[in-house]
Every structure is written in structure tokens, then in C-alpha cells.
């Protein structure tokens, strides 16, 4: 299991289209992928769960992945959320 804290740097925030793109990124991997805030843990492959988080630019989250390709999953989610 890998956990990595990151700060969301998407200029558009986490509205419907960026959330859908994040779900697509996370869904490429066989590992379980979650985003955690201090009070919630949501499956990054669930568009409804991700919308429920209501994240915005500048907020801090922890990306958690567990599985065969967990490092690649965390790296890809981080790359998407930080515009790198």
C-alpha cells in the first residue's frame, strides 16, 4: 500500500469534467485507488464518490493505492491532479 499527500493544482478545480477525467485515470489500474481527506475516504474510480468529496484547487488530499500497479496508479493520479 502506498499513501501520498498532494495538493490539487487543477486550474478548473474538481468540477464534473475534471472528476470524470480523474476517474478515467484511476480506472486504468487494477489496484484499488482512493482519495482521502481528513473526514472521508472515496474510491477514485467512482464518479459519484469523487463528486461527493467536493474538492477544489489548493485543497490537500492523500492518494492511497493498494495492488500490483499501486506505484503507477499513485504517480498517474498525482500527475493529473498537479498538472505535471
pLDDT-above-90 percentage for the chain = 85
Query: pLDDT at residue 84 above 80?
Result: no
Residue 43's nearest CA partner among 13, 59, 67 is 67
pLDDT-wise least confident of 9-13, 14-18, 67-71: 9-13
Q: With a cut of 80, say whether residue 43 has pLDDT above it.
A: yes
Q: Which CATH architecture has domain 2-81?
A: 2-Layer Sandwich (3.30)
> Domain locations in the chain?
2-81
Comparing 11-15, 34-38, 52-56, the range with the smallest average pLDDT is: 11-15
Q: Taking Cα atoms as reference points, which of 24, 78, 12 lies closest to residue 50?
A: 24
Which pTM was predicted? 0.93
Amino acid at each position: 500500500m502506498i499513501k501520498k499527500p498532494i495538493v490539487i493544482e487543477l486550474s478548473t478545480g474538481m468540477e464534473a469534467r475534471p472528476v470524470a477525467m480523474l476517474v478515467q485515470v484511476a480506472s486504468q489500474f487494477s489496484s484499488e485507488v482512493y482519495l482521502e481527506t481528513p473526514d472521508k475516504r472515496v474510491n477514485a474510480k467512482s464518479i459519484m464518490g469523487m463528486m461527493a468529496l467536493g474538492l477544489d484547487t489548493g485543497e490537500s488530499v492523500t492518494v492511497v493505492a493498494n495492488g500490483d500497479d499501486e506505484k503507477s496508479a499513485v504517480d498517474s493520479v498525482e500527475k493529473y491532479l498537479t498538472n505535471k
